[in-house]
Amino acid sequence: MKAKKWLAGALAAATFMTMNLTTMGVAEMAEKREAVKVVQTAGRDRLGDFAPDFARYNDDILFGEVWSKNDVLSLHDRSIVTVSALVASGVIDSSLKFHIQSAKKNGVTKDEMVEIITQLGFYAGWPKACAAFNMAKEVYAEGK
């Protein structure tokens, strides 16, 4: 008898939860953030007269649209993804430094950056991680 009551209770709870999930919707359950518009002029500043379309894609599409969709994926998380992609691709130039600086501004702590680059060392390659560490060390020393 106890088993039947337990089973009936469990089924009722599962039905209630399913109804709530169905009526509320998964998206409504997630906390919605407000998007912050990202404004970038580096493309136009550096390449506007030489490659105006590329500069526009960089400033208006990549930053103005993709990076500005931060109500879905936060700037903090986008920075982590971007730094990881650059390091894994072997891009260890000024663009990596820019994105590490942006990550710092977007709330990626020194300890998080150290863990990110350490993880990348094993998956992307030790030399790439060492180069990224040198850049990150410089960035996180700035403005202490």
105-141: per-residue pLDDT in tens? 999 999 999 999 999 999 999 999 999 999 999 999 9
Rounded Cα–Cα distance for residues 84 and 106 (Å): 15
79 and 137, same domain (yes or no): yes
- List the Cα angle 86/49/64 in 5-degree steps: 50
Give me the mean pLDDT over the 31-42 stretch: 80
Backbone angle region of 39, left / alpha / beta, with phi > 0 → left and psi within -120 to 50 → alpha: beta
Residue 43 pLDDT: 87
> Is the pLDDT confidence value at 12 over 60?
no
User: φ, ψ for residue 74 (rounded to 5)?
Assistant: -60, 160
Residues 117 and 132: beta-carbon distance below 8 Å: yes
Asked if pLDDT for residue 21 goes beyond 80, the answer is: no
DSSP state letter for 109: -
**Per-residue confidence (pLDDT) for residue 4, from 0 to 100:** 56
Is 19 inside any structural domain? no
Alpha helices in 25-107 (DSSP H): 26-29, 42-47, 52-56, 75-89, 94-105
Take residue 141 and report the two structure tokens written for it.
Answer: 């020393």
Is residue 15 domain-resident? no
The span from the CA of 38 to the CA of 93, in Å, is: 22
Indicate the number of domains in the chain.
2
Domain assignment of residue 35, given as a range: 30-72
Mean pLDDT, rounded, for 19-33 = 47
Q: Write down the residue that tokens 């971007």 correspond to.
A: 82
In a domain, 58, yes or no: yes
- The CATH number of whichever domain residue 140 belongs to comes to 1.20.1290.10
Residue type, 63: F
pLDDT tens, residue by residue, 44-84: 999 989 999 999 999 999 998 999 888 989 999 999 999 99
CA-wise closest residue to 64 among 36, 103, 82, 37: 37
Domain final residue, candidates 56, 72, 88: 72
Residue 1 pLDDT: 58
Q: Are residues 89 and 130 in the same domain?
A: yes
Instruction: Give me the mean pLDDT over the 74-97 stretch.
Output: 96
Answer yes or no: do 91 and 121 share one domain.
yes
Mean of pLDDT values over 37-43: 85
Q: Which residue has the higher pLDDT, 119 or 32?
A: 119
- Asked whether residue 42 falls in the same domain as residue 68, the answer is yes
